[in-house]
Amino acid sequence: MMRFGLFPFIFSTFISSALGAPNKNEWQIVWADEFAGTGHPDPKKWGYESGFVRNAEKQFYTTKKLKNARLENGHLVIEGHREFSAAAHLPNTPSKKLPKIEYTSASLHTKGLASWKFGKIEVRAKLPKGQGVWPAIWTLGVNIPQVGWPSCGEIDIMEFVGKGPEEIHGNAHFRQHGKHASDHKTCKTKDIWQDFHTYSIEWDAKFIHFTFDGKRYHSFRVAKAKTLSGNPFHKPHYLILNLALGGTWGGKIDNSIFPIRYLIDYVRVYQKK
């Protein structure tokens, strides 16, 4: 878990007072990004995934490309584009074997920069609308290089799939009896892409509670993920914000939607005093 000195404590106290923590007597902000300014996201807080990463998704995640990830009007803009090229910058790849790119997007993470065990993670965002969009707010255990997925644990604070009904998804992934297991629930919505909404979890040693605009719609009992080697939800996780396109869940992509924007107003992480 991260350690904080005097300055972050003063900063978190100020932010908690100015922005209104969920309960000032119980929570204090330990990490936040309000996405002020312009240009690239803060490199002290965010890194990037790169390339074709998972789930047979169609987008190529770019690194430090303003077209796909930038600060603008007080928001983090993650923008998907339809653009054709070859992944020429992939190292040690013969030109004849370079993957063809049809879509680009971005996936930002705090891996190696910030991680937390327990607390409240709150993100205010405006989701994109369209067939094939798959925006998400989620976490992975920092020990994924050592134990792999799903043994590291995954918390899906929010997933939205444009091809499906108007609902968001909250989920926990883990390994149980040697196999992948999950605990999932949906929250029905209407015209969710028309405005900003708040997606959050409250996470402690016993439960992960999922909320939408402050209303709880799912509670996962952490003990379900207990194994002989420990519980992945009793260990630190890092945060990921991404806009996927197509893939195993996103489905067919409507090419008329591009460019498509996923806007994040803020990310705030609280822990109990």
Q: For the domain that residue 136 is a member of, what is the CATH number?
A: 2.60.120.200
The list of the chain residues with pLDDT below 50 reads 1-22
Q: What are the residues whose beta carbons fall under 8 Å from the beta carbon of 119, sequence distance 6 or more?
A: 30, 202, 203, 269, 270, 271, 272
| C-alpha to C-alpha distance for 165 and 167, rounded to whole angstroms | 6
Say whether 102 is catalytic.
Answer: no
What is the pLDDT at residue 72?
98
If you search the block for the tokens 């007597």, which residue do you land on?
Answer: 25
Is 17 inside any structural domain? no
Is 122 inside any structural domain? yes
Q: What pTM value is reported for the model?
A: 0.88
Say whether 159 is catalytic.
Answer: yes
* Total tally of structural domains belonging to the chain: 1
Is 188 inside any structural domain? yes
Is 255 inside any structural domain? yes
Is 24 inside any structural domain? no
Is 126 inside any structural domain? yes
Is 8 inside any structural domain? no
**Residue 75 burial by Cβ neighbours in a 10 Å radius (0-12, 13-18, 19+):** buried
What is the pLDDT at residue 239?
99
What is the pLDDT at residue 85?
81
Q: Which of 49, 57, 79, 154 is catalytic?
A: 154
| C-alpha to C-alpha distance for 113 and 115, rounded to whole angstroms | 7
Q: In this predicted model, what pLDDT tens digit does every residue of 184-218 receive, in sequence order? A: 999 999 889 999 999 999 999 999 999 999 999 99
Write out the two tokens for 251: 């489905």
Write out the two tokens for 207: 């439960």
Q: Which of 49, 122, 159, 202 is catalytic?
A: 159
If you search the block for the tokens 């992960």, which residue do you land on?
Answer: 208
Q: Which domain holds residue 181?
A: 31-272
What does DSSP assign to residue 249? H
Half-sphere exposure of 52 (CA within 13 A, CB side): 15
Q: Which residues pair with 159 in a beta bridge?
A: 136, 169
| C-alpha to C-alpha distance for 271 and 28, rounded to whole angstroms | 6
Give the E-state strand segments of 189-227 in sequence order: 197-203, 207-212, 215-221
Is 12 inside any structural domain? no
